[in-house]
Amino acid sequence: MRQARVSIDTDALQHNLEVARQTAPHSKIMSVVKANAYGHGVVQVAKALQRSDGFAVACVSEAITLRQHGVTQPLLVLQGALNVTEYRAAGLLKMTLVMHNAQQLAFYTEHTEAQPDLWLKIDTGMHRLGFAPDQVGEVMQKIKPDCSGLMTHFSDADDPQKDETSEQLELFNSLCNAFSLQRSAANSAALLTRPDTHFDWVRPGIMLYGATPLLEGTGSDLGLNPVMTLHAPVISVKNVMAGEAIGYGSDYVASANIKVAVISCGYGDGYPRLAPTGTKVLLNEQHCELLGRVSMDMICVDVTRLEECAVGDEATLWGPELPVEHLAQGVGTLSYALLTGVGVHV
d(CA 97, CA 119): 6
C-beta atoms surrounding 125 within 10 Å: 20
Phi, psi (deg, nearest 5) at residue 289 = -115, 135
Write down the pLDDT at residue 26.
98
Is 218 a member of any domain?
no
The domain total for the chain is 2
Please count the CA atoms within 13 angstroms of the CA of 195 that sit on its side-chain side: 6
CA-based R_g, the chain, Å: 23
Residue 112: pLDDT band (50, 70, 90) is confident
pLDDT above 90 coverage of the chain, percent: 96
Please indicate, yes or no, whether residues 164 and 286 belong to a single structural domain of this protein: no
Residue 189: pLDDT above 80? Answer: yes
Is 189 a member of any domain?
yes
> Across residues 243-249, what is the average pLDDT?
97
Please indicate, yes or no, whether residues 62 and 198 belong to a single structural domain of this protein: yes
Is 217 a member of any domain?
no
Is 23 a member of any domain?
yes
> Across residues 134-144, what is the average pLDDT?
96
Summarize pLDDT for 51-64 with one digit per residue, the tens: 999 999 999 999 99
Q: Identify the bridge partners of residue 230 per DSSP, sorted by sequence position.
A: 6, 318
Q: What is the DSSP letter of 269?
A: G
Is 219 a member of any domain?
no
> pTM of this prediction?
0.96
Closest CA to 35 of 79, 1, 73: 79
Q: Concatenate the DSSP letters of all residues of 296-328 into one string.
A: SS-EEEE-TT-S---TT-EEEEEBTTB-HHHHH
Q: Which residues form the domain of 123?
A: 9-211
Please indicate, yes or no, whether residues 119 and 263 belong to a single structural domain of this protein: no
Q: What is the CATH number of the domain that holds 331?
A: 2.40.37.10
Which residues are known to be catalytic?
Answer: 34, 248
